[in-house]
Amino acid sequence: MMTLKEKRLEKGMNLIPLAELTGLTIANISLIERGLSKPSNKTRDKLEKVFGAIDFSEFDKKGKFRFKPATRIEAEKLLVTFTETLYRLDCKDQSYIANKTREALKPFK
């Protein structure tokens, strides 16, 4: 079974038409594809109406994405996304962000 991104690319579709077909936002689809957001059952249904069965097994039973960055560069990219998300959510607690950054980069020192 293929992941959402694999299915989308197989059909030669970019995010814009998929968003129009499903009624989802481009940002939401992108977050799901990158494993930064767990799709709700309703969202899964919308995506599966377009593509058929999709492999969402990368999410564990608690809904957390089971992705561990393999390199420091991947970890830093994830941290940039994490930090941008916190700022968008108006989380201005700098110490929280700094602690999470140190924690995430610890395996790569």
Its domain, for residue 14, covers: 4-51
67 belongs to a structural domain:
no
Residue 47's CATH number: 1.10.260.40
pLDDT band per the 50, 70, 90 thresholds, residue 97: low
- Residues 43 and 77 both lie in one domain: no
23 belongs to a structural domain:
yes
64 belongs to a structural domain:
no
Domain count, the chain: 2
Average pLDDT over residues 72-80: 71
pLDDT in tens, 10-26: 889 999 999 999 999 98
The identity of residue 68, as a single letter, is: K
Determine what percent of the chain falls in helix, strand and coil, rounding each to the nearest 5.
Answer: 60, 0, 40
pTM over 0.85: no
65 belongs to a structural domain:
no
pLDDT at 22: 93
Written in H, E and C, the secondary structure of 60-91 is CCCCCECCCCCCHHHHHHHHHHHHHHHHHCCC
- Cα(79)–Cα(97) distance, integer angstroms: 9
- Cα(76)–Cα(60) distance, integer angstroms: 23
pLDDT in tens, 30-71: 888 877 778 888 998 999 899 888 877 766 444 444 445 556
